[in-house]
Chains A and B, each alone.
Chain A
Amino acid sequence: MIVKEWCMYCGECAGVCPRSLIEVRETSLNFNEEGCKDCRICIQVCPVKALAKEE
Chain B
Amino acid sequence: MKLIETDVLVIGAGPAGSSTAKHAALNGAEVILMDKKSEIGAPKRCAEGVSKEGLKKLGIEPNSRWVTKELSGVRLVSPNGTDVWMKEDQVKLPEAGYILERKVFDKFMAMEAARAGATIMIKTLAKGMRKENSGYIVSCESMGEDFEIKAKIVVGADGPESRVGRWGGLKTTVKPKNMESGIQFEMCGLEMEDPDVIEFYFGSVAPGGYAWIFPKGEDIANVGLGIVSTYTDKSAYEHLVEFVKNCPATKNAQPVELNIGGDPVGGMLKTLVADHLMIVGDAAGHVNPLTGGGIITALEAGMYAGEVAGAAVKDEDFSEKKLKEYQEKCKTEIGDSFEKYLKTKDYMLSLSDSDLDSIALAFQNTEFENISTKELIKLLIKVSPKALLKLGKLF
State whether A47 and B161 are in contact (beta carbons under 8 Å apart), knowing that A12-B181, A16-B179, A16-B262 are contacts in the complex.
no
CB closest chain-B residue, reference A11: B161
B123 and A26 form a contact (CB under 8 A):
yes
CB closest chain-A residue, reference B36: A26
- Residues in A whose Cβ lies below 8 Å from that of B243: none
Which parts of B256-277 form the interface with A (CB within 8 Å)?
258, 260-262, 264
B262 and A25 form a contact (CB under 8 A):
no
Q: Taking each of A10, A14, A47, which has the highest tally of chain B beta carbons within 10 Å of its own beta carbon?
A: A47
A15 and B162 form a contact (CB under 8 A):
yes
Q: Is A3 interfacial (CB-CB < 8 Å)?
A: no
Shortest A34–chain B CB gap in Å is 16
Partner of B179, one of A8, A12, A22, A23: A12
Interface residues on B, range: 20 to 34
Shortest A12–chain B CB gap in Å is 3
State whether A48 and B235 are in contact (beta carbons under 8 Å apart), knowing that A12-B181, A20-B173, A26-B38 are contacts in the complex.
yes
Partner of B163, one of A14, A18, A41, A47: A14
Shortest B44–chain A CB gap in Å is 11
B179 and A15 form a contact (CB under 8 A):
yes
CB closest chain-A residue, reference B175: A16
Q: How far is the CA of A17 from the CA of B163 in the complex (A)?
A: 10
B235 and A16 form a contact (CB under 8 A):
no
Which parts of B167-212 form the interface with A (CB within 8 Å)?
173-176, 179, 181-183
Partner of A20, one of B127, B166, B179, B183: B166
CB closest chain-A residue, reference B183: A47
Q: Is B37 interfacial (CB-CB < 8 Å)?
A: yes
Q: Is A1 interfacial (CB-CB < 8 Å)?
A: no
Q: How far is the CA of A33 from the CA of B162 in the complex (A)?
A: 19
- Residues in A whose Cβ lies below 8 Å from that of B261: 10-12, 47
B262 and A11 form a contact (CB under 8 A):
yes
CB closest chain-A residue, reference B37: A26
- Residues in A whose Cβ lies below 8 Å from that of B235: 46-49
B176 and A16 form a contact (CB under 8 A):
yes
Shortest A7–chain B CB gap in Å is 10
A41 and B183 form a contact (CB under 8 A):
no
Q: Is B215 interfacial (CB-CB < 8 Å)?
A: no
State whether A45 and B229 are in contact (beta carbons under 8 Å apart), knowing that A16-B176, A25-B36, A25-B125 are contacts in the complex.
yes
Interface size on A, residues (CB 8 A): 23
B237 and A15 form a contact (CB under 8 A):
no
A44 and B176 form a contact (CB under 8 A):
yes
Shortest B294–chain A CB gap in Å is 14
Q: How far is the CA of A41 from the CA of B179 in the complex (A)?
A: 11
Q: Is A24 interfacial (CB-CB < 8 Å)?
A: yes
State whether A48 and B236 are in contact (beta carbons under 8 Å apart), knowing that A8-B43, A16-B174, A16-B262 are contacts in the complex.
yes
Shortest B128–chain A CB gap in Å is 9
CB closest chain-B residue, reference A20: B166
Q: How far is the CA of A12 from the CA of B237 in the complex (A)?
A: 14
Partner of A48, one of B160, B183, B262: B183
Q: How far is the CA of A4 from the CA of B364 in the complex (A)?
A: 46
Q: How far is the CA of A44 from the CA of B229 in the complex (A)?
A: 7
State whether A15 and B264 are in contact (beta carbons under 8 Å apart), knowing that A24-B161, A47-B182, A49-B237 are contacts in the complex.
yes
Q: Taking each of A10, A12, A22, A46, which has the highest tally of chain B beta carbons within 10 Å of its own beta carbon?
A: A12
- Residues in A whose Cβ lies below 8 Å from that of B135: none
- Residues in A whose Cβ lies below 8 Å from that of B378: none
B181 and A45 form a contact (CB under 8 A):
yes
- Residues in B whose Cβ lies below 8 Å from that of A49: 235, 237
6 further contact pairs, Cβ within 8 A, besides A15-B262, A41-B176: A11-B261, A12-B261, A16-B179, A22-B161, A24-B161, A26-B123
Seen from chain B, the residues whose Cβ lies within 8 Å of a Cβ on chain A are: 36-38, 43, 45, 123, 125, 127, 159-163, 166, 173-176, 179, 181-183, 229, 235-237, 258, 260-262, 264
7 tightest A-B contacts by CB? A12-B262, A11-B161, A14-B161, A47-B236, A15-B160, A47-B181, A15-B161
Q: Can you report 16 A-B residue pairs in the complex whose CB atoms are below 8 A from each other?
A: A11-B159, A12-B179, A12-B260, A12-B261, A15-B173, A15-B262, A20-B163, A23-B163, A25-B36, A44-B176, A45-B179, A45-B262, A47-B183, A47-B236, A48-B237, A49-B235
